[in-house]
């Protein structure tokens, strides 16, 4: 089905849920007239103060939308203060509305979208846009109009960098040397070439998320978590998931867990080791945790020695904008569409994540490309960020079930490949990473608490979902908090956690090495017969 019709389906589903929230808002006008009048009076008062230059609201430090010196001019300052004026009493007004919490959350999301869209930086009032137009004698606006027309004609959901400037896999990014040692319908298994003369004899298997590509973990030589692990003497194996097509619609969590078990068996056979350590990232971490629970139930837990989970939601009751926005109508229409098409298309998943941070991911690129008439810089993170993959219909169904029921908190509530899943029965030592400014997986949802058995260590870095992972040693602003998991509450853990300066990468590899066995001479891996890393699957569209 054409992408534009898929977009209309998604928007109509979201629109139905939002329309219910707007109807609730209309009902509140007659039920709470004083509450609305009070907000209106406060807003008008602050707007008047802004116009008179008497409102003192500081622009958030580091906001790139307002970094141009022209925003310090009197007129620009008053326009900026006027924009802030109606937002300042907004939270108190929303919290005072008598409506269901999911309706309030959807209204909050809608108003945040409106606030981001009508920011003065998105208009010709932006001093940076005016300066560019003046200096180029209007050519910047002409180039911007051409860029807008080109992007609309190509059906791009957002302003994006020119595809001709993308970084090349295997040359610029994902360039750690290695071999593809196995290829199956679901994945390729990559084995990386050791970078030290001596390595630990227990290998590390990494399970990346099925959405997006694995190479965020091997972005550039300076920001590659995989290369860092290799430099510490770890033997690294990695699953590269296939980009599914409609014929793979029945691939669900069970299929991905069984595929990970197959990859683990092949990793052990290739390394001639009886055990491995396992690391999962985001939704790949969910798959890794479920694999551990499945092995525990099936009596195969002796194959693993330790588990580390990076930004992984063990508590799947995610309180994010995306979850709050997707009400019952949205989820039902999403289920219908993915089963009709066989998958969730890459464009839709990319757009959903983009609208979770519209000021950064939508409007700043739009101003650059359409207002300033400039090409967007295509950094390695940008290349990865626009390289979305499809998700099979059954996996979407299973993830929605996790979000709806949170069965991981109820031992035996989830059946997987013939076994009842009980995370608390997993006795492996585990190491966990969360990111304080994570807008996809709130850090509290990654805290294992009592959900996972075994000895646990928790770490909280102070970045976002993506930048938290890209934190090599030497990062000038890197810091995190660290401590054992001795209480059920994430907030209680935070009150006693120790502050650590620098990157969390050395702490992670240092912990892994404790469970990675003795040092042996580094093996020389022969050609696996499937070509060099990063393999074929990562390049499939």
Among 137, 135, 175, residue whose Cα is nearest residue 380: 175
For residue 379, indicate whether it is catalytic: no
Task: Say which residue the tokens 């005016």 belong to.
Answer: 130
Phi/psi for 223 (5° steps) reads -125, 25
Phi/psi for 62 (5° steps) reads 85, 5
Distance of CA 275 to the CA centre of its chain: 30
User: In DSSP terms, which residues pair with 461 in a beta bridge?
Assistant: 435, 480
* Structural contact between residues 439 and 463, judged by C-beta atoms closer than 8 angstroms: no
* Structural contact between residues 314 and 433, judged by C-beta atoms closer than 8 angstroms: no
Among 37, 107, 52, residue whose Cα is nearest residue 85: 52
Distance of CA 77 to the CA centre of its chain: 34
Phi/psi for 500 (5° steps) reads -130, 135
Phi/psi for 82 (5° steps) reads -65, -40
CA distance 173 to 213: 12
CA distance 8 to 12: 6
340 token code pair: 């009709």
Alpha helices in 272-345 (DSSP H): 283-298, 321-325, 328-341
* Structural contact between residues 273 and 508, judged by C-beta atoms closer than 8 angstroms: no
3-state DSSP helix/strand/coil percent for the chain, to nearest 5? 50, 15, 35
Exposure pattern of 298-332 as b/e (b: 16+ CB <10 Å)?
A: eeebebbbbbbbbbbbbbbbbebbebbbbbebbbe
CA distance 482 to 461: 9
Q: Is 500 helix (H, G, I), strand (E, B) or coil?
A: strand
Exposure pattern of 383-418 as b/e (b: 16+ CB <10 Å)?
A: bbbbbbbbbbbbbbbbbbebbeebbbbeeeebebbe
The catalytically annotated residue of 282, 292, 461, 471 is: 282
Whole-Å CA distances, 259 to 161, 202, 256, 366: 35, 20, 5, 40
Among 280, 179, 187, residue whose Cα is nearest residue 241: 187
Q: Which residues are catalytic?
A: 282
């Amino acid at each position: 089905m054409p992408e534009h019709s898929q977009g209309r389906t998604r928007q109509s589903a979201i629109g139905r849920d939002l329309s219910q929230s707007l109807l609730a808002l209309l009902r509140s006008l007659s039920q709470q007239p004083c509450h609305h009048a009070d907000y209106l009076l406060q807003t008008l008062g602050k707007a008047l103060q802004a116009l008179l230059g008497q409102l003192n609201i500081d622009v958030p430090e580091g906001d790139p939308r307002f970094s141009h010196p022209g925003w310090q001019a009197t007129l620009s300052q008053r326009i900026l203060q006027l924009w802030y004026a109606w937002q300042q009493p907004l939270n108190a007004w929303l919290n005072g509305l008598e409506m269901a919490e999911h309706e309030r959350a959807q209204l909050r999301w809608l108003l945040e979208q409106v606030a981001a869209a009508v920011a003065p930086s998105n208009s010709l009032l932006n001093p940076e846009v005016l300066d560019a137009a003046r200096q180029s004698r209007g050519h910047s606006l002409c180039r911007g109009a051409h860029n807008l027309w080109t992007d609309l004609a190509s059906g791009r959901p957002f302003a994006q960098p020119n595809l001709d400037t993308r970084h090349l896999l295997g040359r610029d990014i994902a360039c750690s040397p290695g071999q593809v040692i196995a290829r199956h319908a679901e994945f390729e298994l990559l084995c990386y070439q050791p970078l030290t003369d001596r390595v630990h004899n227990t290998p590390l298997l990494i399970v990346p998320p099925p959405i997006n590509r694995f190479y965020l973990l091997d972005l550039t030589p300076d920001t590659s978590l995989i290369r860092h692990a290799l430099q510490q003497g770890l033997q690294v194996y990695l699953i590269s998931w296939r980009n599914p097509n409609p014929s793979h619609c029945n691939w669900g969590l069970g299929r991905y867990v069984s595929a990970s078990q197959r990859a683990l068996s092949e990793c052990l056979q290739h390394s001639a080791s009886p055990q491995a350590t396992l690391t999962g990232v985001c939704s790949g971490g969910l798959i890794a945790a479920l694999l551990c629970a499945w092995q525990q139930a099936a009596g195969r837990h002796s194959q693993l020695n330790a588990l580390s989970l990076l930004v992984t939601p063990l508590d799947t009751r995610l309180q994010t904008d995306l979850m709050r926005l997707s009400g019952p109508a949205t989820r039902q229409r999403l289920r219908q569409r993915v089963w009709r098409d066989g998958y969730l298309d890459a464009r839709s998943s990319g757009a959903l994540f983009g609208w979770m941070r519209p000021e950064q991911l939508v409007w700043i690129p739009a101003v650059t490309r359409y207002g300033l008439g400039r090409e967007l810089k295509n950094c390695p993170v940008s290349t990865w960020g626009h390289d979305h993959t499809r998700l099979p219909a059954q996996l979407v169904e299973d993830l929605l079930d996790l979000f709806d029921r949170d069965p991981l908190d109820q031992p035996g509530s989830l059946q997987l490949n013939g076994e009842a899943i009980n995370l608390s029965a997993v006795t492996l030592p585990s190491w966990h990473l969360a990111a304080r400014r994570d807008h996809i997986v709130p850090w509290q949802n990654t805290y294992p608490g009592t959900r996972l058995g075994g000895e646990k260590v928790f770490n909280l870095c102070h970045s976002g979902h993506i930048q938290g992972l890209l934190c090599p040693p030497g990062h000038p602003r890197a810091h995190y908090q660290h401590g054992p998991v001795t209480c059920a509450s994430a907030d209680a853990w935070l009150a006693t956690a120790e502050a650590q300066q620098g990157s969390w990468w050395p702490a992670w590899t240092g912990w892994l090495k404790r469970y990675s066995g003795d040092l042996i001479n580094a093996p020389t891996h022969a050609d696996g017969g499937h070509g060099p890393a990063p393999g074929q699957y990562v390049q499939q569209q």
